[in-house]
A = this chain, B = another copy of it.
Amino acid sequence: MTVADPQTARPDTAATAAALEALAARLGDRFSAGESVRDQHGRDESWHRPHRPDAVVFPETTAEVSAVCAICHRHGVPIIPYGVGSSVEGAAIPVAGGVVVSLVRMNRVLAVDPGNFDCTVQPGVQRRALNEHLRDTGLTFTVDPGADASIGGMIATRASGTNAVRYGTMAEAVRALEVVLADGTVIRTGTRARKSAAGYDLTHLFTGSEGTLGIVTEATLRLAPIPETVIAATCRFATLEAAVETAVEIMQAGIPVARVELLDAAMIEAVNAYSGTDLAVAPHLFLEFHGDPESARRDAEAAEAIATEAGGAGFAQAESAEDRARLWRARHDCAYACMANHRPKRMLTTDVCVPIPALTENILAASADAAAAGLPAPVLGHVGDGNFHMILMLDPDDPEEVARAEGVSARMVERALAAGGTCTGEHGVGLGKRDYLAREQGPEAIAVMRSLKAALDPKGLMNPGKVLPD
């Protein structure tokens, strides 16, 4: 896939040159305008075309992030915050050039307070490293997107994952933030209290703003106690419908399931090939139950009864911690499995989330539509939340294939919106869902979002081209 170089389209290269000079002076060898570094920071995991930024900086402190923003702001140069580049929606691709601010060196866990069930971290900490850091506290950070994303990136996209059905998403996990605004101003939002009614909810405003309103430089995160008992299970079904209906019934029965994940037959095939598992090639639910020994067991039994009633077979519990870890690692690697099976194609990932009663119909219609379009389209889903992904593999340089995939995706979004759902449950809007956002929220709400953007970033420098439609 060819890399676009946005500099050619930029009006004021003199201003950019002046900004880069000032940044190089301020950051020394933590400034790079080298081509390979720029290319590394111009792409993500999506099918969206990479774009080369003008430079990449690697600040180590909030003060440095502030200085970087102030310099870019003075010269009118775009600022693109960057975590580990695991976006599946082009959220960090510098489509208008500018300076990528990599938070990779701001990766310290600053404080852990087990007595308040929280920790404070820098944005470059990755979720697995955070849980490794926490391992002796009896606490865990529960949000687990497929990728080993950075906390900053997870805040930016309001990420969730397999545990969200029980423990919530980043919207619930973030208690307080430190944010650098476009002009370099540093603000703090929220507190370490469990709740607050103090003024406008800036914490939630920045959570999910995809770097378009500011750069998160510190975050206080809510933690959960590691449950006494964890029971993982898998169950296979003859039809996709039976699998989804089982998940719907488990939710509607009020079973406090900790995870309930759907993988269709195509996804199981991809996972087996990539992760070395030997699951039967059929739709599966992966489940997990947390609690004291009795309640976890009761929940698992109640779910098994529902699954069996629906024709589910082989309800098997993963007994050891190693088996569980292997199972969930395979689940987390789904996207990578699809990419590995279809290289060099790239991934267009759908992410609708619908009310639970509409879930079965939405998944079946999407799957049938992709089959009719002749596209390989494995399905996986956080079905307890009503959220599912169809992974459409495509060649970005084949306009006909792109159009077919976009058609499937657009029709999926239409159905989700008609059912009262959203175009994106957890991946964010990025580049690819801006028109869907407009359809979902309506012109009046989009106008409000634009006015918030203009209030916080009047020059339009923060991660331009993302979230809001052109």
Q: Which residues of A come within 8 Å of B, CB atoms?
A: 113-118, 157-160, 164-165, 168-169, 171-172, 181, 185-189, 191-202, 204-205, 207-209, 213, 225, 248, 252, 254, 291-292, 294-295, 298, 351, 353-357, 385-387, 416-417, 420-429, 433, 436-437, 440-442, 444-449, 451-456, 467-468
Q: Are A201 and B197 in contact (CB under 8 A)?
A: no
Determine the residue in chain B with the shortest Cβ distance to A253. Answer: B225
| Chain B contacts for A186, CB-based, 8 A | 444
Contact A451 B442 (CB under 8 A): no
15 other contacts beyond A168-B172, A201-B201, A452-B456, with CB at 8 A cut-off? A158-B197, A160-B197, A189-B441, A191-B422, A193-B422, A193-B425, A194-B356, A195-B385, A197-B208, A197-B422, A197-B426, A198-B440, A199-B467, A202-B449, A292-B295
Determine the chain B residues whose CB is within 8 A of the CB of A171 once the complex forms: 195, 201, 204
A115-B357, A294-B294 known; A197+B440 contact, CB < 8 A: no
Contact A448 B202 (CB under 8 A): yes
Indicate which residue in B199, B204, B427, B442 contacts A201 across the interface (CB closer than 8 Å).
B204
CB-based contact A157/B449 at 8 Å: no
B188-A445 in contact (CB<8A): yes
Are B425's CB and A199's CB within 8 A? no
The answer to whether A449 and B193 have CB atoms under 8 Å apart is: no
CA distance A164 to B420 in the complex (A): 27
* Interface contact A195-B425, CB-CB below 8 Å: yes
Smallest CB-CB separation from A354: which chain B residue?
A: B193
Q: Complex formed: what's the CA distance from A103 to B448 in Å? A: 24
Identify which of B194, B208, B225 contacts A199 (C-beta below 8 A): B208
Give bound CA distance, A385 to B193, whole Å.
8
Check A353 against B455 for contact (C-beta < 8 Å).
Answer: no
* Cβ-defined contact, B385 with A194, below 8 A: yes
Chain B residues positioned under 8 Å from A451 (CB to CB) = 455-456
Q: Which 10 A-B pairs have the closest CB atoms?
A: A204-B204, A192-B420, A225-B254, A115-B357, A196-B422, A193-B353, A455-B455, A116-B355, A451-B455, A158-B197
Residues of the B chain whose Cβ atoms lie less than 8 Å from the Cβ of A159: 197
In terms of DSSP, what is the predominant structure of the interface of chain A? mixed
* Nearest B-chain residue to A454, judged by Cβ: B455
**Contact at B194–A386, with CB atoms within 8 Å?**
yes
CA distance A199 to B469 in the complex (A): 11
Q: How far does the alpha carbon of A217 sit from the alpha carbon of B424 in the complex, in Å?
A: 25
CB A46 to nearest CB in B, in angstroms, measures: 14
B208 touches A205 (CB 8 A): no
A468 surroundings in chain B (CB, below 8 A):
199
Query: CA A199 – CA B441 in complex, angstroms?
Result: 9
Contact B187 A448, beta carbon cutoff 8 Å: yes
Interchain nearest-CB distance for A92 vs B (Å): 15
Q: Are A195 and B387 in contact (CB under 8 A)?
A: yes
Chain B residues with Cβ under 8 A from A208's Cβ?
Answer: 197, 199-201
Chain B residues within 8 Å of A160, by CB: 195, 197
A sample of 30 inter-chain contacts (CB < 8 A) reads A115-B355, A116-B356, A116-B386, A118-B355, A160-B197, A171-B204, A172-B172, A191-B353, A191-B421, A191-B422, A193-B354, A193-B355, A193-B387, A193-B425, A195-B387, A195-B425, A197-B422, A197-B425, A197-B426, A197-B428, A197-B429, A198-B429, A198-B437, A199-B446, A200-B209, A200-B452, A204-B204, A205-B205, A225-B254, A294-B298
The complex places the Cα of A319 from the Cα of B169 at a distance, in Å, of: 36
Q: How far is the CA of A180 from the CA of B449 in the complex (A)?
A: 15
Task: Tell me whether A444 and B185 are in contact in the complex, defined as CB-CB below 8 angstroms, given that A421-B192, A421-B193 are known contacts.
Answer: yes
Q: A204-B171, A295-B294, A448-B456 are in contact. Are A423 and B198 (CB under 8 A)?
A: yes
On chain B, the residues within 8 Å of A385 by CB distance are 193-195
Residues of B within 8 A of A357 (CB): 113, 115-116
